[in-house]
């Protein structure tokens, strides 16, 4: 939640970065901040301290606090668009994960007051939904889609898996119990519903088709949710997944008593290729194998 002093500091930052306050121009004094915003002197002092830490202002003897040289943007400032807000949010999430994303951070990157973001989106939930929809828009399904229910299901699943790999935070946004309104997500849903339409001799009811469709999404989303934590862990400790496992394996082997856990003990002494990608490939194949039995392996109309 943005505090009062942060909100006031954001407003002054935006005025500086837009060029409204030129280099060397005085910024509102503590007394003026107190008078205009009805805050305590301590709060006003925190505002100027924050701007000084950002390198946006400096104190000049005999003048007071002024805009620092080089703090003002050059050129004619342009108000951001809604698409700019979404792109800025995606850039933060790509670089730092969803944990680094906040309305204040986005506003700072765009050089606008935090509260002005709410003229573009109603809040964080709407922003996250737009981010996810943008991901799906930029990584579209093949056109045309392959014929046959299995090939079409694989195309949908692989396209979404690709999207989650490129933007590891996206899987965490996607809700399976309270699905967001995602215009570009509707394309995926429609494609799978059509794929599972059955045959003229054995049509499937809509409830069954929805269960088949959402189960594919859940598989991809569930595995996709592991991509971001794995990536952030690699950034934090500098270890690859293989290096981390090499360090962890001796401890696991020490507690995996072969008399009590014979299968696990055997697994810890065997070189097994187990990654999120291999889990995705294996899980998708086995899920669709089960679908083939359920559907009688009858492909739907292309």
169 and 274 fall within a common domain: yes
Q: Which two tokens stand for residue 152?
A: 């079409």
Q: Which residue has the tokens 């996206």?
A: 170
**Confidence bin at 193 (pLDDT 50/70/90):** very high
pLDDT tens digits, one per residue of 23-47: 888 889 888 888 888 888 888 888 8
pLDDT tens for 205-245 read 999 999 999 999 999 999 999 998 888 888 788 888 888 88
Cis bond leading into 144, ω under 30°? yes
CA distance 129 to 132: 5
By the 8 A CB rule, do 208 and 176 touch?
no
59 and 99 fall within a common domain: no
129-133, 178-182, 215-219, 268-272 — which is least confidently predicted? 268-272
Both 272 and 170 in one domain: the answer is yes
- Cα–Cα distance list, 285 to 114, 139, 207, 295 (Å): 46, 22, 23, 15
Look up residue 169 and give its two tokens.
């935070």
Where helices occur in the chain by DSSP H, the ranges are 4-17, 30-37, 41-53, 82-96, 103-110, 124-138, 149-166, 170-173, 185-195, 206-224, 227-237, 241-255, 262-268, 276-295
Q: pLDDT at position 68, please?
A: 86
**Is the domain of 95 the same as that of 191?**
no
How does pLDDT run across 86-97, given as a tens digit for each residue?
A: 999 999 999 888
CATH of the domain at 87: 1.10.10.60
> According to the model, what pLDDT value does residue 281 have?
96
Instruction: State yes or no: pLDDT of 301 exceeds 50.
Output: no
Does a structural domain hold residue 72? no
Q: Is 187 helix (H, G, I), strand (E, B) or coil?
A: helix
Which residues constitute the domain of residue 48? Answer: 4-67
Is residue 156 domain-shared with residue 299, that is, in the same domain? yes
Do 50 and 116 lie in one domain? The reply is: no
């Amino acid at each position: 939640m943005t505090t009062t002093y942060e909100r006031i500091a954001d407003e002054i930052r935006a005025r500086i970065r837009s060029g409204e306050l030129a280099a060397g121009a005085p910024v509102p004094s503590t007394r003026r901040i107190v008078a205009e915003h009805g805050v305590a002197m301590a709060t006003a002092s925190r505002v100027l301290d924050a701007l000084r830490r950002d390198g946006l202002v400096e104190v000049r003897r005999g003048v007071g606090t002024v805009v620092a040289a080089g703090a003002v943007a050059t050129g004619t400032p342009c108000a951001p668009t809604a698409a700019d807000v979404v792109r800025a949010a995606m850039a933060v999430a790509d670089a730092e994960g969803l944990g680094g994303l906040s309305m204040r951070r986005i506003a700072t990157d765009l050089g606008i007051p935090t509260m002005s973001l709410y003229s573009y989106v109603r809040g964080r939930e709407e922003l996250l939904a737009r981010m996810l929809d943008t991901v799906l828009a930029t990584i579209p399904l093949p056109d045309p889609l392959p014929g046959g229910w299995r090939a079409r299901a694989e195309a949908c699943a692989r396209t979404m898996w690709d999207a989650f790999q490129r933007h590891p935070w996206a899987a965490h946004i996607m809700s399976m119990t309270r699905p967001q309104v995602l215009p570009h997500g509707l394309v995926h849903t429609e494609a799978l519903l059509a794929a599972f339409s059955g045959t003229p001799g054995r049509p499937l009811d809509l409830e069954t088709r929805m269960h088949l469709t959402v189960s594919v999404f859940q598989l991809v989303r569930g595995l996709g949710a592991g991509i971001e934590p794995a990536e952030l862990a690699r950034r934090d400790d500098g270890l690859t997944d293989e290096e981390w496992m090499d360090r962890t394996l001796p401890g696991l082997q020490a507690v995996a008593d072969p008399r009590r856990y014979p299968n696990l003990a055997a697994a810890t002494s065997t070189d097994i290729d187990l990654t999120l990608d291999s889990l995705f490939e294996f899980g998708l194949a086995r899920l669709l194998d089960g679908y083939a039995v359920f559907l009688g392996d009858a492909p739907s109309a292309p």
